[in-house]
Chains A and B, each alone.
Chain A
Amino acid sequence: MTAATSGHTPDIAVAAPPLGSWRAVRAFLRNPAAVLATLFLIMVAVTAVAAPLIYPEDPLSMVARPFLWPGQNPTFPLGSDSLGRDVAAGLVWGARISLLIGIAAMALGVTIGIVVGATAGYFGGWIDDALVRLIEIFQTTPSFLMLVVLVAIAEPRVESITVAIALVTWPTIARLVRAEFRSLREKDFVTAARGLGYGHARIIFIEILPNALPPIIVTSSVIVASAILMESALSFMGLGDPNRISWGSMIGAGREMLRTAWYLTFIPGIAIVLTVLALNLIGDALNDALNPRLSSEP
C-alpha cells in the first residue's frame, strides 16, 4: 500500500493565481469535505499536542487487566491490549508519533526536493542531466524496500525513520519542481529579472519559487499522508522506534489476536485510515482551489 501511495501525484495546477489573494481560501472553504477533513486533522493535532496532559503516564506501561474490551471498564474506554496497556492512551500518543514523523519527513523531503528540482530545472545542461540521473536512481529502487534497508542499517529511532522517509519521498517533489522550473525559467519576467541584475539565488527563490508553490503545496499534503502510512508499515513490521508507541506498532502487536480481539487492530487502523483520508481530501481541495482552470470563479 505504501509504495503505491508514495508515487502518487495528483493533477497539478499549471498557472498559479496569486497566493496572497483570498480567492483560493474561499474556494477551499466552499468544499465541505475539505472543511470536515481540516477540522478532523486539527482535532488529531490538538490531541497529539495535549497527549501528556490527557495521559500523563507512559502509554507503554501496563495499567489494566489484559484484553479489556472497549466500554467494559469506564477507566479504559477503548479497552486494553494483551499486555494490559491502555489502548486509548496508545491512540493519543500514537497520533503524536504519526503526525510528527509525517510532517517532519514531509518538510525535509520537500526541502531536498525543492533544492534539487529547482537547481536541475533552472540551470539545465549537465547539472540537470546529473541530478535527473540521481533522481532516477532513487525512483527506480522500490521505495519501501529502500526504506526498510535504511532503517535497518540505522538504529530505528524517530529521527532515523524521519530521515529515511524523507530520503524516499524527495524525488517526487524534485521531479515536480524541476518540471515547473523548466517552464517558468523561460517566462518573460525571469528575463526581466535577469535584466535587473538579479543573481541566480534571488531569481530561483524570489521570482520563480512563489509561482511553483501551488503544486508543491498540494503534493506536500499527500506526502504527509504517505509518510504516515510508511511509518505505520515500518512499525507494523517491528522496525519502528521500540520506545515510542505508534499506530503501526499497535496494529502489529494486535495482529496475533485478530480473531479474538479484533478491536486491537481495528481502532488504530481506523485512526490511520481517517487521518490519511483527511490529508488526501485536503490535497484534492487545495488542488481545486489553487488551480484557476478548474474553479468556477473567474
Chain B
Amino acid sequence: MTTAAPLLDVADLTIAFPTGTPVIDFGFTVAEGETLAVVGESGSGKSLTALAVMRLLPPAAKIVAGAIRLKGRDLRALPEPEMRRVRGREIAMIFQEPMTSLNPVLTVGRQIAEVLRLHEGMSAPAARARTIELLDLVRVADPHRRVDDFPHRLSGGMRQRVMIAMAVACRPRLLIADEPTTALDVTIQAQVLDLLDRLRRDLGMALLLITHDLGIVGQWADRVVVMYAGRRVEQADATRVLDDPLHPYTRGLLAASPRLDASLHYSAGPLREIPGSIASARGQPGCPFAPRCPLAQPSCRIRPPPLAAVRPGRLVACPVTTASELADVAAVGL
C-alpha cells in the first residue's frame, strides 16, 4: 500500500436524512493514481457517499459527522465558490444515466466546450478545437461531425463517452464514476471501463469506481471497499476479496454472482441468494447484516462489530471470520 498521504481521505462519514441514517461511520482513502471500488447493493449508501464528496447531497441529507479531505484540504469546510472550482477541475463525476445526464437541447460540443470555457477560460475556437481532441481521446468516431450533434442522435455508450470527455476535460486528480456502466449493454460496459482505465493511466488520475457488480471489480480495481447498509464491512486488495472473501456479506455477494472462473467452488451449482433484504438493516442496534447472516452470534445483535485489521490493508467488521482468519494465520505460522 502507498505510504504517501492519500489523495482523498474520507473518515467516519455519517450522512443523515430526517427519516434515517443511510451512511454511518463510513471511511476510505484513495491514493494518487489508483482505482478504488466501492461495492454494495442498491440502498447501501454508496451513491450518497459519492455525492457527499462532491458536496452535491440533496437538501434533505446532511453530513452529521466525519471528514472529507482532498490532498489534506477539508472539503466540508470549503466555501461554496471554492468548492465550485474543485468540482470539475480537481474532482469530476460521471453519473449512472448517460441518457439523461446530457442536456437535450445543446450540442455535445457546446456542452464539453462550456466546461473548458468555465475552468480553463478558453476562447470559443480554442475550446472547440480542444473538444474535438477530447472526443477523439474518448474514442468517439468521427469527432469533427459528432461535435455538432445533439445528444439524442447518440447511443447510450456514445453519450457515456461524451460524459467522460466532459469529466476529464480539465484533467481532474480524481474521477468518481457512479455505476458508469449499469445502464449500458454488457459489450459496451467493458469498452467504457477499458476507456476509464486507460484515461486513468494516461492522465494520472485516481478513479473511485462505485458499483454493485463484483464481477467488474477484479479486472478494473486495485482495492475494494465493501459497503453494507451504510457501513464499511470489508476492505482489501481487489484480488484478495475475490479469492478469499472474509465477511459473510461479501461471501454471499460472491456466491450470488455468476462467475466464469470455475476453480471457485461458489460457481458450482445454482447461484445462491442472500436471504432477506437490505431493508432489515434499518434500526438494527448491532451489525446491520445480522438479520441475514448465517453466522450471526448473539453479540452481533447488540453492538456493531468494530473493523479489525487482519492484515495490513485488510479490514473486516465481523468477529466470527476475524477469529477464524486469525486462527488460519496462526496455523500456517505467519
Contact = CB atoms under 8 A, between A and B. Distances in A.
B88 A197 contact: yes
A197 B119 CA distance: 8
Given A18-B150, A21-B150, A202-B118, A195 B100 contact: no
Nearest to A213: B105
Contacts of A18: 104-105, 150, 152
B115 interface: yes
Interface in A163-198: 187-189, 191-198
Interface stretch (B38-46, B90-98, B126-134, B265-273): B90-98
A198 B105 contact: no
A201 to B, nearest CB: 11
A193 to B, nearest CB: 8
Contacts of A192: 93, 95, 101-102, 163, 166
B227 to A, nearest CB: 21
B106 interface: yes
A207 interface: yes
A16 B105 CA distance: 8
Interface stretch (B79-87, B256-264, B302-310): B79-87
B114 interface: yes
A189 B103 contact: yes
A211 B88 contact: no
A84 B198 CA distance: 85
B101 to A, nearest CB: 4
B95 A188 contact: yes
A210 B104 CA distance: 9
Contacts of B93: 192, 195
A71 interface: no
A74 interface: no
Given A18-B104, A196-B166, A206 B87 contact: no
Interface in A18-46: 18-21
A208 to B, nearest CB: 9
Given A195-B93, A196-B87, A199-B84, A207 B56 contact: no
A196 B115 contact: yes
Interface residues of A, number: 24
Interface string A199-238: 1001000110011010000000000000000000000000
Contacts of B107: 20
Nearest to A125: B59
A19 to B, nearest CB: 6
B114 A206 contact: yes
Interface in A54-78: none
B118 A16 contact: no
- Greatest chain A CB density within 10 A among B81, B95, B105, B106 is at B105
A188 B87 CA distance: 16
Contacts of B104: 16, 18, 189, 211
B172 to A, nearest CB: 10
Nearest to A207: B103
- Greatest chain B CB density within 10 A among A197, A198, A202, A206 is at A197
Contact of A20 (B56, B81, B100, B150): B150
B97 A197 contact: no
Nearest to B115: A196
B88 A210 contact: no
A188 B102 CA distance: 8
A130 B316 CA distance: 51
Interface of B: 54, 56, 81, 84-89, 92-93, 95, 97, 100-107, 114-115, 118-119, 150, 152, 163, 166-167
Given A188-B97, A196-B167, A198-B114, 17 more contacts: A16-B104, A20-B105, A188-B95, A188-B100, A192-B166, A195-B87, A195-B88, A195-B92, A197-B86, A197-B88, A197-B89, A198-B84, A198-B88, A198-B118, A202-B114, A210-B103, A210-B105
10 contacts: A16-B104, A17-B105, A19-B105, A189-B102, A191-B56, A195-B54, A195-B88, A196-B88, A196-B167, A197-B86
**What 6 A-B pairs have minimum CB-CB distances, sorted nearest first?**
A197-B88, A197-B87, A196-B88, A188-B100, A195-B93, A197-B84
Interface of A: 16-21, 187-189, 191-199, 202, 206-207, 210-211, 213
